[in-house]
A and B are shown apart, each in its own frame.
Chain A
Amino acid sequence: MSTTTEAMPSTSTKSEPEQAYKEMYSKSRRSALPPKTDAPDFTLRSTPDQWLSLSEFRGQPVVLAFYPADWSPVCGDQMALYNEMLKEFHDLGAELIGISVDGAWCHAAFARDRKLHFPLLADFEPKGDVARRYGVYRYKDGVSERALFVIDAAGKVYWSFVSPVGVNPGADGILSALEDLQNKQTVSATMEAK
């Protein structure tokens, strides 16, 4: 897991809010839900008039891609990369969901502009609530980490990864996790058959 430690200005007399803020922020960097924990269910807007719940995907793996904000630069853009890989994700039986604190109308414009073919959920009200529950909210910045979760068919976290905010984590980790899941499934199916 990739982490960076960010130096906070140290002062001898810390005000209480400052201390609380520091604690919250440093906590957010280490608290991404680890494997084997139950993935908290949520219901968020996927479009201005539609809602989507994680539990709807029970029975298949889901890739949750938290990202800080819509409208990052084009060529190195993480969502543009995943958009090209939907077939690979689907071939591995998985659905992809993007999540940021942007509102549904912003997501709609972003998805239309980038021709994204997967849902972007608006973690908008209460702001960042889902990111907080997954342990990947950046209190300092008011956005989520660039964090990836692969949720298994039973709704448990199988794999998670937090990338430095400015670094596109690519997709190799996701693919490995999904393949792992698929292999496990094949093995257990073979065991049952025996």
Chain B
Amino acid sequence: MFFHIVMERNMQLHPRHFGRNLRENIVSKLMKDVEGTCSGRHGFVVAITGIENIGKGLIRDGTGFVTFPVKYQCVVFRPFKGEILEAVVTMVNKMGFFAEAGPVQIFVSNHLIPDDMEFQSGDMPNYTTSDGSVKIQKDSEVRLKIIGTRVDATEIFCIGTIKDDFLGVINDPATA
């Protein structure tokens, strides 16, 4: 799920950035530092959408660096247990398949793939129904349900299932 939230961060800035462009420098450094990172609490920071305010800078003794407390708005992404997600399949093997939804790695074990789908090996391994109408392979888009999540400092792992109503392939690149 995506959230639009306000977060706060102390930015340390080298004195060379001081001057007319101080504000721009802080913002660009903030974007570089924060976007694309992952925090266990909030999930994955997708983008900074705005700056609420930049507080008074505090000069560090000895170094000349200045610390600014910055409040900013950002869009974060965090998967939840029970959530339905759409993801792109990255790898298919006999254990199941791996999919990605942005930075999130999802594993769907073959226990949680409908029983009528069989694994087919070959140079393009896939799971296919007996009549061949539905096929999951690399780059397929699937709708799945998250049944377990783990958000680390840098990564998000999820366990998913497609063994439920209305889950499974939503767009097959082979037929598209």
Bound pair: A and B? no
Chain B residues packing against A (C-beta within 8 Å)? none
